[in-house]
Amino acid sequence: MPALDGRRLYFVGIGGAGLSAYANLARALGAEVRGWDLRETIFMETLDGVKIDVGGDPSPPPGWEVIVSTAHAGRIEGTPRSALLAELVDAQPSIVVGGAHGKTTTAAMIAYVLRETGRDPGWVVGGVVPQLGGNAGAGAGWMVVEGDESDRSIYALRPSIAAVTNIELDHHTAYASEAELGVMLEEWLGRAPQAVRGWELEPAELELRLFGEHNRQNAATALAVLELAGVPRNEAAPVLATFAGVDRRLQLVGSADGVAVYDDYGHNPTELAATLRAARSLEPRRLLAVYQPHVHERTRHLAGELADALALADLVVVTDVLGGRDEPRDDVSGKWVLDRLPPTVGAAWAPTLDDAVRIVLSWVRAGDLVVTFGVGEPWRAARAIAAGLGR
Protein backbone atom coordinates (compact mmCIF):
# COMPACT_ATOMS: atom_id res chain seq x y z
CA MET A 1 0.00 0.00 0.00
CA PRO A 2 1.57 3.32 -0.99
CA ALA A 3 1.89 5.85 1.78
CA LEU A 4 0.14 9.19 1.45
CA ASP A 5 2.91 11.00 3.27
CA GLY A 6 3.02 14.67 2.40
CA ARG A 7 -0.55 14.88 1.09
CA ARG A 8 -3.01 17.19 2.82
CA LEU A 9 -6.61 16.17 2.25
CA TYR A 10 -9.71 18.18 3.14
CA PHE A 11 -12.83 15.97 3.10
CA VAL A 12 -16.12 17.71 2.31
CA GLY A 13 -18.81 15.55 3.93
CA ILE A 14 -16.38 14.02 6.41
CA GLY A 15 -19.20 13.09 8.80
CA GLY A 16 -20.71 10.60 6.37
CA ALA A 17 -20.47 6.84 6.71
CA GLY A 18 -18.19 6.54 3.70
CA LEU A 19 -16.08 9.68 3.76
CA SER A 20 -15.26 9.34 7.45
CA ALA A 21 -13.79 5.92 6.63
CA TYR A 22 -11.78 7.34 3.71
CA ALA A 23 -10.44 10.05 5.99
CA ASN A 24 -9.41 7.51 8.61
CA LEU A 25 -7.66 5.37 6.03
CA ALA A 26 -5.90 8.40 4.54
CA ARG A 27 -4.47 9.46 7.88
CA ALA A 28 -3.44 5.86 8.64
CA LEU A 29 -1.45 6.04 5.40
CA GLY A 30 0.28 9.24 6.46
CA ALA A 31 -1.85 12.05 5.00
CA GLU A 32 -2.71 15.14 6.98
CA VAL A 33 -6.50 15.22 7.23
CA ARG A 34 -9.11 17.89 7.88
CA GLY A 35 -12.74 18.21 6.87
CA TRP A 36 -16.16 19.79 6.90
CA ASP A 37 -19.78 18.73 7.31
CA LEU A 38 -23.13 20.43 7.77
CA ARG A 39 -23.75 18.95 11.21
CA GLU A 40 -22.26 16.63 13.79
CA THR A 41 -22.72 12.92 13.09
CA ILE A 42 -22.04 9.67 14.89
CA PHE A 43 -19.18 8.91 12.49
CA MET A 44 -17.24 11.94 13.72
CA GLU A 45 -16.67 9.93 16.89
CA THR A 46 -14.16 7.86 14.89
CA LEU A 47 -12.19 10.97 13.85
CA ASP A 48 -10.59 11.88 17.17
CA GLY A 49 -7.87 14.48 16.64
CA VAL A 50 -9.08 15.56 13.20
CA LYS A 51 -9.99 19.24 12.85
CA ILE A 52 -13.55 19.40 11.52
CA ASP A 53 -15.48 22.50 10.46
CA VAL A 54 -19.18 22.09 11.27
CA GLY A 55 -21.82 24.22 9.57
CA GLY A 56 -21.46 27.14 7.22
CA ASP A 57 -19.48 26.50 4.06
CA PRO A 58 -16.41 24.28 3.52
CA SER A 59 -13.20 26.22 4.13
CA PRO A 60 -10.17 24.23 2.92
CA PRO A 61 -6.82 25.79 3.83
CA PRO A 62 -4.76 27.02 0.88
CA GLY A 63 -2.85 24.24 -0.86
CA TRP A 64 -4.99 21.35 0.43
CA GLU A 65 -6.54 18.75 -1.90
CA VAL A 66 -10.32 18.75 -1.61
CA ILE A 67 -12.15 15.40 -1.64
CA VAL A 68 -15.92 15.79 -2.10
CA SER A 69 -18.63 13.30 -1.14
CA THR A 70 -21.50 12.61 -3.50
CA ALA A 71 -23.95 14.25 -1.10
CA HIS A 72 -22.11 17.57 -1.46
CA ALA A 73 -21.20 17.46 -5.14
CA GLY A 74 -21.47 20.96 -6.56
CA ARG A 75 -20.94 22.66 -3.21
CA ILE A 76 -17.22 23.12 -3.86
CA GLU A 77 -14.70 22.18 -6.54
CA GLY A 78 -12.67 19.09 -5.73
CA THR A 79 -11.89 15.45 -6.46
CA PRO A 80 -14.88 13.07 -6.18
CA ARG A 81 -14.46 10.65 -3.32
CA SER A 82 -14.80 7.80 -5.83
CA ALA A 83 -11.55 8.85 -7.50
CA LEU A 84 -9.63 8.64 -4.22
CA LEU A 85 -11.12 5.23 -3.49
CA ALA A 86 -10.26 3.98 -6.97
CA GLU A 87 -6.66 5.10 -6.40
CA LEU A 88 -6.49 3.09 -3.18
CA VAL A 89 -8.14 0.01 -4.70
CA ASP A 90 -5.70 0.03 -7.63
CA ALA A 91 -2.70 0.16 -5.29
CA GLN A 92 -2.91 -3.39 -3.92
CA PRO A 93 -4.90 -6.62 -4.31
CA SER A 94 -8.44 -5.63 -3.39
CA ILE A 95 -11.82 -7.08 -2.54
CA VAL A 96 -14.89 -4.89 -3.18
CA VAL A 97 -18.34 -5.77 -1.84
CA GLY A 98 -21.52 -4.16 -3.19
CA GLY A 99 -25.24 -4.90 -3.01
CA ALA A 100 -28.50 -3.44 -1.77
CA HIS A 101 -28.32 -5.03 1.69
CA GLY A 102 -25.61 -6.43 3.91
CA LYS A 103 -22.56 -5.05 2.14
CA THR A 104 -21.20 -3.25 5.22
CA THR A 105 -21.55 -6.31 7.43
CA THR A 106 -20.20 -8.65 4.75
CA ALA A 107 -17.15 -6.47 4.04
CA ALA A 108 -16.52 -6.17 7.78
CA MET A 109 -16.77 -9.96 8.20
CA ILE A 110 -14.17 -10.47 5.47
CA ALA A 111 -11.76 -7.91 6.93
CA TYR A 112 -12.19 -9.33 10.43
CA VAL A 113 -11.41 -12.92 9.37
CA LEU A 114 -8.41 -11.80 7.30
CA ARG A 115 -7.01 -9.88 10.25
CA GLU A 116 -7.71 -12.58 12.84
CA THR A 117 -6.03 -15.19 10.65
CA GLY A 118 -2.86 -13.08 10.38
CA ARG A 119 -3.26 -11.79 6.83
CA ASP A 120 -2.85 -8.06 7.66
CA PRO A 121 -5.71 -6.54 5.61
CA GLY A 122 -6.58 -2.92 5.04
CA TRP A 123 -10.27 -2.07 5.09
CA VAL A 124 -12.68 0.77 4.48
CA VAL A 125 -16.35 0.16 5.29
CA GLY A 126 -19.40 2.31 5.89
CA GLY A 127 -19.83 1.47 9.54
CA VAL A 128 -17.88 1.33 12.79
CA VAL A 129 -16.59 -2.17 13.55
CA PRO A 130 -15.57 -2.31 17.22
CA GLN A 131 -13.52 -5.50 16.81
CA LEU A 132 -11.47 -3.81 14.09
CA GLY A 133 -11.13 -0.57 16.01
CA GLY A 134 -13.11 1.63 13.62
CA ASN A 135 -14.36 1.96 10.07
CA ALA A 136 -10.98 1.90 8.28
CA GLY A 137 -7.45 0.66 8.68
CA ALA A 138 -4.26 0.14 6.68
CA GLY A 139 -2.57 -3.18 6.03
CA ALA A 140 -0.11 -4.81 3.65
CA GLY A 141 -2.43 -7.67 2.64
CA TRP A 142 -5.80 -7.53 0.92
CA MET A 143 -7.64 -4.20 0.83
CA VAL A 144 -11.33 -4.83 1.67
CA VAL A 145 -13.69 -2.11 0.46
CA GLU A 146 -17.42 -1.53 0.65
CA GLY A 147 -18.52 -0.29 -2.77
CA ASP A 148 -21.46 2.00 -3.42
CA GLU A 149 -23.82 1.62 -6.33
CA SER A 150 -26.07 4.49 -5.18
CA ASP A 151 -23.94 7.03 -7.08
CA ARG A 152 -22.50 4.46 -9.53
CA SER A 153 -19.02 4.94 -8.01
CA ILE A 154 -18.59 1.18 -7.57
CA TYR A 155 -18.17 0.79 -11.32
CA ALA A 156 -14.92 2.79 -11.25
CA LEU A 157 -13.34 0.19 -8.94
CA ARG A 158 -11.26 -2.65 -10.40
CA PRO A 159 -10.84 -5.23 -7.63
CA SER A 160 -9.22 -8.65 -7.81
CA ILE A 161 -12.35 -10.11 -6.20
CA ALA A 162 -15.77 -8.50 -6.73
CA ALA A 163 -18.81 -9.51 -4.68
CA VAL A 164 -22.45 -8.46 -4.71
CA THR A 165 -24.64 -9.58 -1.83
CA ASN A 166 -27.98 -9.06 -3.59
CA ILE A 167 -29.68 -6.86 -6.19
CA GLU A 168 -32.70 -4.71 -5.38
CA LEU A 169 -33.65 -1.25 -6.62
CA ASP A 170 -33.08 1.13 -3.73
CA HIS A 171 -31.83 4.29 -5.47
CA HIS A 172 -34.58 5.55 -7.71
CA THR A 173 -32.79 8.69 -8.83
CA ALA A 174 -29.76 6.72 -10.06
CA TYR A 175 -31.48 3.87 -11.95
CA ALA A 176 -34.59 3.66 -14.07
CA SER A 177 -35.32 0.08 -13.03
CA GLU A 178 -34.01 -2.92 -11.14
CA ALA A 179 -33.22 -4.47 -14.52
CA GLU A 180 -30.83 -1.60 -15.32
CA LEU A 181 -29.15 -1.96 -11.93
CA GLY A 182 -28.79 -5.71 -12.43
CA VAL A 183 -27.22 -5.32 -15.87
CA MET A 184 -24.68 -2.78 -14.60
CA LEU A 185 -23.70 -4.85 -11.57
CA GLU A 186 -23.39 -7.98 -13.70
CA GLU A 187 -21.11 -6.13 -16.14
CA TRP A 188 -19.00 -4.97 -13.18
CA LEU A 189 -18.78 -8.50 -11.77
CA GLY A 190 -17.83 -9.79 -15.20
CA ARG A 191 -14.79 -7.50 -15.39
CA ALA A 192 -13.29 -8.87 -12.16
CA PRO A 193 -10.86 -11.82 -12.27
CA GLN A 194 -12.97 -13.52 -9.60
CA ALA A 195 -16.55 -12.81 -8.54
CA VAL A 196 -19.11 -13.89 -5.95
CA ARG A 197 -22.88 -13.55 -6.43
CA GLY A 198 -24.30 -13.76 -2.94
CA TRP A 199 -27.90 -14.38 -3.99
CA GLU A 200 -26.82 -17.69 -5.54
CA LEU A 201 -25.53 -19.04 -2.21
CA GLU A 202 -27.31 -20.97 0.54
CA PRO A 203 -27.20 -19.32 4.00
CA ALA A 204 -24.15 -20.36 6.01
CA GLU A 205 -24.76 -23.27 8.34
CA LEU A 206 -22.87 -22.06 11.40
CA GLU A 207 -23.66 -20.45 14.71
CA LEU A 208 -23.12 -16.70 14.62
CA ARG A 209 -23.10 -14.04 17.30
CA LEU A 210 -25.39 -11.98 15.04
CA PHE A 211 -29.17 -12.36 14.93
CA GLY A 212 -31.20 -13.08 11.84
CA GLU A 213 -31.32 -15.17 8.69
CA HIS A 214 -29.96 -12.20 6.72
CA ASN A 215 -26.68 -12.43 8.62
CA ARG A 216 -26.34 -16.10 7.74
CA GLN A 217 -26.67 -15.00 4.11
CA ASN A 218 -24.02 -12.31 4.65
CA ALA A 219 -21.79 -14.97 6.18
CA ALA A 220 -22.21 -17.21 3.13
CA THR A 221 -20.99 -14.41 0.85
CA ALA A 222 -18.09 -13.63 3.18
CA LEU A 223 -16.97 -17.27 3.31
CA ALA A 224 -17.10 -17.58 -0.48
CA VAL A 225 -14.95 -14.46 -0.88
CA LEU A 226 -12.50 -15.63 1.78
CA GLU A 227 -12.00 -18.92 -0.03
CA LEU A 228 -11.11 -17.01 -3.20
CA ALA A 229 -8.73 -14.89 -1.11
CA GLY A 230 -6.89 -17.98 0.10
CA VAL A 231 -8.57 -18.65 3.45
CA PRO A 232 -9.92 -22.22 3.61
CA ARG A 233 -13.49 -22.49 4.89
CA ASN A 234 -12.45 -24.71 7.81
CA GLU A 235 -10.09 -21.92 8.93
CA ALA A 236 -12.45 -19.02 8.25
CA ALA A 237 -15.70 -20.35 9.70
CA PRO A 238 -14.65 -20.64 13.38
CA VAL A 239 -13.26 -17.11 13.28
CA LEU A 240 -16.35 -15.72 11.55
CA ALA A 241 -18.48 -17.26 14.31
CA THR A 242 -16.84 -14.84 16.78
CA PHE A 243 -17.64 -11.72 14.73
CA ALA A 244 -19.77 -9.37 16.85
CA GLY A 245 -21.07 -7.04 14.15
CA VAL A 246 -21.08 -3.43 13.02
CA ASP A 247 -22.41 -0.50 15.02
CA ARG A 248 -25.95 0.56 14.11
CA ARG A 249 -26.88 -2.96 13.00
CA LEU A 250 -29.44 -3.97 15.65
CA GLN A 251 -27.06 -2.47 18.19
CA LEU A 252 -28.12 -2.48 21.82
CA VAL A 253 -27.95 1.13 23.01
CA GLY A 254 -29.28 0.70 26.54
CA SER A 255 -31.88 -0.91 28.76
CA ALA A 256 -33.70 -0.05 31.98
CA ASP A 257 -36.92 -0.98 33.74
CA GLY A 258 -37.27 -4.05 31.54
CA VAL A 259 -37.14 -2.05 28.28
CA ALA A 260 -34.36 -2.64 25.73
CA VAL A 261 -33.46 0.01 23.13
CA TYR A 262 -31.70 -0.88 19.88
CA ASP A 263 -30.55 1.22 16.94
CA ASP A 264 -30.28 0.15 13.30
CA TYR A 265 -29.10 1.72 10.04
CA GLY A 266 -31.88 0.03 8.05
CA HIS A 267 -33.77 2.41 5.80
CA ASN A 268 -35.45 0.39 3.05
CA PRO A 269 -38.19 -2.26 3.23
CA THR A 270 -35.99 -5.35 3.06
CA GLU A 271 -33.66 -4.09 5.77
CA LEU A 272 -36.50 -2.99 8.05
CA ALA A 273 -38.24 -6.34 7.74
CA ALA A 274 -35.08 -8.38 8.33
CA THR A 275 -34.18 -6.41 11.45
CA LEU A 276 -37.69 -6.47 12.89
CA ARG A 277 -37.87 -10.24 12.39
CA ALA A 278 -34.53 -10.60 14.17
CA ALA A 279 -35.78 -8.34 16.99
CA ARG A 280 -38.98 -10.36 17.25
CA SER A 281 -36.87 -13.49 17.83
CA LEU A 282 -35.82 -11.92 21.14
CA GLU A 283 -39.45 -12.37 22.24
CA PRO A 284 -40.31 -8.89 23.48
CA ARG A 285 -43.69 -8.15 25.07
CA ARG A 286 -44.22 -5.53 22.38
CA LEU A 287 -42.00 -4.38 19.51
CA LEU A 288 -41.81 -0.62 18.91
CA ALA A 289 -40.24 0.89 15.79
CA VAL A 290 -39.16 4.47 15.15
CA TYR A 291 -38.46 5.21 11.48
CA GLN A 292 -36.97 8.30 9.86
CA PRO A 293 -37.49 7.98 6.07
CA HIS A 294 -34.47 8.78 3.92
CA VAL A 295 -34.62 10.35 0.45
CA HIS A 296 -37.85 11.74 -1.00
CA GLU A 297 -37.82 9.54 -4.11
CA ARG A 298 -37.39 6.34 -2.09
CA THR A 299 -40.26 7.41 0.14
CA ARG A 300 -42.46 8.21 -2.87
CA HIS A 301 -41.76 4.94 -4.67
CA LEU A 302 -41.69 2.59 -1.68
CA ALA A 303 -44.14 4.05 0.86
CA GLY A 304 -46.39 0.99 0.71
CA GLU A 305 -43.50 -1.46 1.00
CA LEU A 306 -42.00 0.52 3.89
CA ALA A 307 -45.33 0.42 5.70
CA ASP A 308 -45.66 -3.34 5.11
CA ALA A 309 -42.21 -3.88 6.65
CA LEU A 310 -42.88 -1.64 9.64
CA ALA A 311 -46.15 -3.50 10.24
CA LEU A 312 -44.03 -6.31 11.68
CA ALA A 313 -43.85 -4.10 14.80
CA ASP A 314 -46.72 -3.59 17.24
CA LEU A 315 -46.29 0.18 17.54
CA VAL A 316 -44.69 2.49 14.98
CA VAL A 317 -43.58 6.13 15.04
CA VAL A 318 -42.71 7.77 11.72
CA THR A 319 -40.91 11.11 11.35
CA ASP A 320 -40.58 13.39 8.37
CA VAL A 321 -38.16 12.60 5.56
CA LEU A 322 -34.45 13.21 5.99
CA GLY A 323 -33.49 15.00 2.78
CA GLY A 324 -30.13 16.03 1.42
CA ARG A 325 -29.56 13.48 -1.35
CA ASP A 326 -32.43 14.62 -3.54
CA GLU A 327 -34.67 17.63 -4.01
CA PRO A 328 -37.62 17.93 -1.60
CA ARG A 329 -41.10 17.36 -3.01
CA ASP A 330 -43.97 19.32 -1.52
CA ASP A 331 -46.27 16.33 -1.74
CA VAL A 332 -43.89 13.75 -0.18
CA SER A 333 -43.43 13.39 3.57
CA GLY A 334 -43.11 10.67 6.16
CA LYS A 335 -46.92 10.67 6.34
CA TRP A 336 -46.89 8.77 3.06
CA VAL A 337 -45.55 5.81 5.04
CA LEU A 338 -47.62 6.42 8.15
CA ASP A 339 -50.90 6.57 6.22
CA ARG A 340 -50.24 3.18 4.64
CA LEU A 341 -49.77 1.29 7.91
CA PRO A 342 -52.58 -1.21 8.57
CA PRO A 343 -55.10 -0.36 11.32
CA THR A 344 -53.86 -3.28 13.40
CA VAL A 345 -50.63 -1.36 14.10
CA GLY A 346 -50.55 1.41 16.67
CA ALA A 347 -49.07 4.41 14.89
CA ALA A 348 -48.06 7.99 15.58
CA TRP A 349 -46.75 10.91 13.52
CA ALA A 350 -43.67 12.69 14.87
CA PRO A 351 -42.38 15.53 12.68
CA THR A 352 -38.98 15.40 14.38
CA LEU A 353 -36.89 12.80 16.18
CA ASP A 354 -37.33 14.76 19.41
CA ASP A 355 -41.09 14.32 19.02
CA ALA A 356 -40.54 10.60 18.43
CA VAL A 357 -38.55 10.29 21.67
CA ARG A 358 -41.36 11.87 23.69
CA ILE A 359 -43.97 9.57 22.15
CA VAL A 360 -41.95 6.40 22.72
CA LEU A 361 -41.21 7.29 26.34
CA SER A 362 -44.94 7.75 26.90
CA TRP A 363 -45.68 4.35 25.36
CA VAL A 364 -43.05 1.92 26.67
CA ARG A 365 -43.70 -0.63 29.36
CA ALA A 366 -41.58 -3.37 30.93
CA GLY A 367 -40.82 -6.15 28.48
CA ASP A 368 -40.93 -3.90 25.40
CA LEU A 369 -38.18 -3.66 22.79
CA VAL A 370 -37.59 -0.43 20.85
CA VAL A 371 -35.71 -0.16 17.54
CA THR A 372 -34.84 3.16 15.90
CA PHE A 373 -34.23 3.06 12.14
CA GLY A 374 -32.65 5.35 9.58
CA VAL A 375 -29.58 6.75 7.86
CA GLY A 376 -29.38 10.11 9.61
CA GLU A 377 -29.58 10.65 13.34
CA PRO A 378 -32.01 8.08 14.75
CA TRP A 379 -29.06 6.95 16.89
CA ARG A 380 -29.55 10.20 18.84
CA ALA A 381 -33.17 9.24 19.42
CA ALA A 382 -32.14 5.78 20.62
CA ARG A 383 -29.71 7.29 23.10
CA ALA A 384 -32.32 9.79 24.30
CA ILE A 385 -34.94 7.06 24.77
CA ALA A 386 -32.46 4.89 26.70
CA ALA A 387 -31.49 7.86 28.87
CA GLY A 388 -35.14 8.71 29.52
CA LEU A 389 -36.18 5.28 30.74
CA GLY A 390 -37.10 5.23 34.40
CA ARG A 391 -37.29 8.98 34.79
Please state at what angle helix 233-240 crosses helix 213-228, rounded to 10 degrees: 140
Q: Which helix (H) or strand (E) holds 378?
A: helix 378-388
Burial of 321 (0-12, 13-18, 19+ CB in 10 A): buried
Closest CA to 69 of 53, 48, 46, 85: 85
96 lies in the same domain as 233: yes
32 lies in the same domain as 110: no
DSSP 115-156: HHTT---EEEEEEEEGGGTEEEE--SS-EEEE---TTSGGGG
Residue 335 lies in a domain: yes
Residue 162 lies in a domain: yes
User: Hey, which bits of the chain come out as E strands?
Assistant: 8-12, 32-37, 51-54, 65-68, 79-80, 94-98, 122-129, 134-137, 143-146, 161-164, 194-197, 251-256, 259-264, 287-291, 315-318, 346-349, 369-373
Counting every residue written for the chain, the total comes to 391
116 lies in the same domain as 187: yes
Please state at what angle helix 353-363 crosses helix 378-388, rounded to 10 degrees: 30
Contact 319, 373 (CB under 8 A): no
Residue 1 lies in a domain: no
CATH number at residue 125: 3.40.1190.10
Which pLDDT tens digits describe the chain residue by residue (391 residues)? 557 889 999 999 999 988 999 999 999 999 999 999 998 998 999 999 999 999 999 999 999 999 999 889 889 999 999 999 999 889 899 999 999 999 999 999 999 999 999 999 999 999 999 999 999 999 999 999 999 888 888 999 999 999 999 999 777 777 889 899 999 999 999 999 999 999 999 999 999 999 889 999 999 999 999 999 999 999 999 999 999 999 999 999 999 999 999 999 999 899 999 999 999 999 999 999 999 998 888 888 889 999 999 999 999 999 998 765 556 666 788 999 999 999 999 999 999 999 999 999 999 999 999 999 998 889 999 999 999 997 7
Dist CA 371 CA 296 (whole Å): 22
320 lies in the same domain as 365: yes
Contact 151, 100 (CB under 8 A): no
Of the residues 219, 240, 261, the one at which a domain ends: 240
98 lies in the same domain as 236: yes
Please state at what angle helix 103-116 crosses helix 213-228, rounded to 10 degrees: 50
Instruction: Provide the 8-state DSSP code for 17.
Output: H
Of the residues 57, 81, 105, the one at which a domain ends: 81
CATH number at residue 353: 3.90.190.20
Contact 380, 389 (CB under 8 A): no
Dist CA 382 CA 253 (whole Å): 7
pTM: 0.89
268 lies in the same domain as 213: no
- Domain span at residue 209 reads 92-240
Residue 3 lies in a domain: no
Sheet strands side by side (includes 51-54):
51-54, 32-37, 8-12, 65-68, 79-80
Closest CA to 255 of 111, 117, 383, 65: 383
N-terminal to C-terminal alpha carbon distance within the chain: 52
Overall domain count for the chain: 3
Q: Position 285: which residue type? A: R
